[in-house]
Amino acid sequence: MTTEPLTGNGAAGATRAESRETTEGRIFTVTGGDWDEFLDETGGEERVVINLGPQHPSTHGVLRLVLELEGETVTKARSVIGYLHTGIEKNTEYRTWTQGVTFLTRMDYLAPLYNEAAYCMGVEKLLGIEVPKRAETFRVMLMELNRISSHLVFLATGAMELGATTGMTYGFRDREEVLHLLEFLTGLRMNHAFIRPGGVAQDLPGGWQDKVKAFIKVMDERLPGYEKLFTGQPIWKQRLKDVGYLPLDGALQLGVTGPLLRAAGLAWDLRKVEPYCGYEEFDFEVPTSTDGDCYARFLLRLREIYESLKIIRQCIDKMESGPHMVDDPKIAWPAKLSIGPDGMGNSLDHVRKIMGQSMESLIHHFKLVTEGFDVPPGQAYSPVESPRGELAAHVVSDGGTRPLRAHVRDPSFVNLQAMPAMCEGGLVADVIAAVASIDPVMGGVDR
């Protein structure tokens, strides 16, 4: 914001704030002066336009909010996006179908496994293949672990922005437990590129059952602490109760999905209404509320963590023996993969085996990695229920080894439209609580 010259105001020589018209409305340049006289200048019908950001107000990325204020009340609110633009969707057009996973996993970087699953399910629809049952159950377990870690970040960052630093330390402490487990299962803490067209990159490591059960035990012990810390806390309830209200009809008109929609009263969860990855075989509930405020969204996400743990327990029992990738050497990339100990690239034993078997084996490996596989012409839309709502990949093929088009319906992008409806008419202090309850990830918004 540029500073305009100040002019004298009265015998005392006090300064006053000048105003100017911009594309965002009237802007006041406040640099000092007598407070009472400033209030006289800006009082009555005058409204102040301020920038909140571009910064990181519980948005997991960079968001700018333009707020028009009358006193402490928000009369207009607009979101300005694009500060984290990465061109991920366009980049996939220049990569093979499998390499595209490495780009798309980085969109909503708090739910990378959902990005991978939605995209790969679309590719598998075009290929007309079915994923092995073991890989399907493995995907479900990974996604539910990812849902828990994402909701814990929501709790941690939301608490931090509202001043509840103990909640922040609780959330990030327990998120580390999830990331340690994901690193054990996939080789990486985030941006895994582990779910691939046809299955998953490699099979479950030895001793995975004990690791998963130990994690469930830790979470069972720690989750009641969130109830004690937050649920009955009067300051927490005052900051969230009746704040950021979004009724069901408004949510439906805006296309809002996920916890925002369920907190308004509609039990819309794709795992139930349009099951995928065998979710129809799992026993779990879809928490809902009719309150439609920030406090309801907080309670709902906490309930969803319990339901995800319930699904993970069932994954342990349902995990069948069998392959983790389709039995098609032209699709499985790379065929019979064995990842190195750092989770990045092939293990030396796998390289020796490939190079030592035959020249044909080495040539096939090289062509599969560099050129990829052909996908029949067509288009597919594959939605999943991410921690923030309906995340779907629309993939288009012209019959080649690269996507003609890959577009993602990211829930953060759609849900962010609800911000003005939730904030206008409320206090400026409640804007942060409202935005935090949307839980937007700007990597998904600006992909």
Helices (H), 277-423: 294-318, 348-357, 359-370, 411-415, 419-423
How many C-beta atoms surround the C-beta of residue 123 within 10 A? 26
Q: How many domains does the chain have?
A: 2
CATH number where 228 lies? 1.10.645.10
Return all residues near 431 (Cβ < 8 A) that are at least 6 apart: 52, 57, 65, 67, 74, 77, 423
Which stretch of 184-188, 350-354, 413-417 has the lowest confidence by average pLDDT?
350-354
Q: For a pLDDT cut of 70, what percent of the chain falls above it?
A: 85
Domain assignment of residue 364, yes or no: no
Sign of CA dihedral 149, 150, 151, 152: positive
Residue 39 shares a structural domain with residue 135: no
- The average confidence (pLDDT) of the chain is 85
Residue 291 shares a structural domain with residue 157: yes
Return all residues near 437 (Cβ < 8 A) that are at least 6 apart: 158, 240, 244, 260, 294, 297, 298, 422
pLDDT tens by residue, 270-297: 999 999 999 999 999 999 999 989 999 9
250-273 average pLDDT score: 92
Residue 297 shares a structural domain with residue 437: yes
Residue 107 shares a structural domain with residue 46: no
Residue at which a domain ends, from 24, 50, 80: 80
> 9 pLDDT exceeds 50?
no
296-302 average pLDDT score: 93
Residue 181 shares a structural domain with residue 60: no
Q: Which class for 439: exposed (0-12), middle (13-18), buried (19 or more C-beta within 10 A)? A: buried
Location of structure tokens 């690269």: 402
pLDDT at 304: 95
Domain assignment of residue 354, yes or no: no
pLDDT tens by residue, 211-231: 999 999 999 999 998 888 888
| Complete DSSP assignment for 139-194 | HHHHHHHHHHHHHHHHHHHHHHHTT-HHHHHHHHHHHHHHHHHHHHHHS-SS----
Domain assignment of residue 89, yes or no: no
Residue 65 shares a structural domain with residue 180: no
Residue 253 shares a structural domain with residue 320: yes
- Partners of residue 408 on adjacent β-strands: 393
> How far, in Å, CA of 166 to CA of 229, rounded?
8
> How far, in Å, CA of 184 to CA of 251, rounded?
39
> 44 pLDDT exceeds 80?
no
Quick one: which of 87, 47, 82, 83 has its CA closest to 67? 47
How many residues comprise the chain? Answer: 447
Q: How confident is the model at residue 37 (pLDDT cuts 50, 70, 90)?
A: low
**CA distances (Å), 329 to each of 100, 347, 365, 368, in order?**
19, 19, 9, 9
Domain assignment of residue 97, yes or no: no
pLDDT tens by residue, 75-114: 888 888 888 888 999 999 999 988 899 999 999 889 999 9
pLDDT at 45: 60
Residue span of the structural domain in which 210 resides: 102-332+376-393+409-445
Sign of CA dihedral 307, 310, 316, 320: negative
Domain assignment of residue 51, yes or no: yes
In the chain, the amino acid numbered 424 is: E
Could you tell me the pTM of the whole model? 0.83
- Partners of residue 69 on adjacent β-strands: 48, 74
Q: Which class for 78: exposed (0-12), middle (13-18), buried (19 or more C-beta within 10 A)? A: middle
pLDDT at 58: 57
Quick one: which of 105, 146, 161 has its CA closest to 387? 146
Q: How confident is the model at residue 337 (pLDDT cuts 50, 70, 90)?
A: low
Bridge-based pairing state of the strands 25-29 and 18-22: antiparallel
> How far, in Å, CA of 376 to CA of 364, rounded?
20
pLDDT at 2: 42
Residue 119 shares a structural domain with residue 13: no
Domain assignment of residue 350, yes or no: no
Between 332 and 130, the higher pLDDT residue: 130
pLDDT at 6: 39
Domain assignment of residue 147, yes or no: yes
Domain assignment of residue 389, yes or no: yes
Which stretch of 141-155, 236-250, 330-344 has the lowest confidence by average pLDDT?
330-344
Which stretch of 4-8, 123-127, 137-141 has the lowest confidence by average pLDDT?
4-8
